Amino acid sequence: MSDTLFFAHETAVIDEGCKISRGVKIWHFSHLMTACEIGPDCNIGQNVVISPRVVLGKNVKVQNNVSIYEGVTCEDDVFLGPSMVFTNVINPRSAVNRRGIYTKTHVAKGATIGANATIVCGHDIGKYALIGAGSVVTKTVPAYALVVGNPATQIGWVSEYGHRLVFDNESVGVCPESGDKYKLVNNNVEKISNAS
The CATH label, of 1.10.3080.10, 3.40.50.280, 2.60.40.420, 2.160.10.10, for the domain at 1-157 is: 2.160.10.10
pTM, to two decimals: 0.95
Average pLDDT, the chain: 96
Mean pLDDT value of segment 88-105: 94
Query: Where do the structural domains in the chain lie, given as residue ranges?
Result: 1-157, 159-196
pLDDT band (50, 70, 90) for residue 140? very high
Nearest to 74, CA basis, from 37, 108, 119, 121: 108
From residue 176, how far is each of 36, 110, 163, 165, 195 by CA, in Å?
A: 38, 18, 7, 8, 11
Tell me: pLDDT of 131 over 50. yes
| 98/84 Cα distance (integer angstroms) | 23
The pLDDT assigned to 15 comes to: 98
Per-position DSSP letters for 87-134, written without gaps between them: ---SS-BTTB--TT----EEE-TT-EE-TT-EE-TT--B-TT-EEPTT
Q: Tens digits of per-residue pLDDT, 1-43?
A: 444 699 999 999 999 999 999 999 999 999 999 999 999 999 9
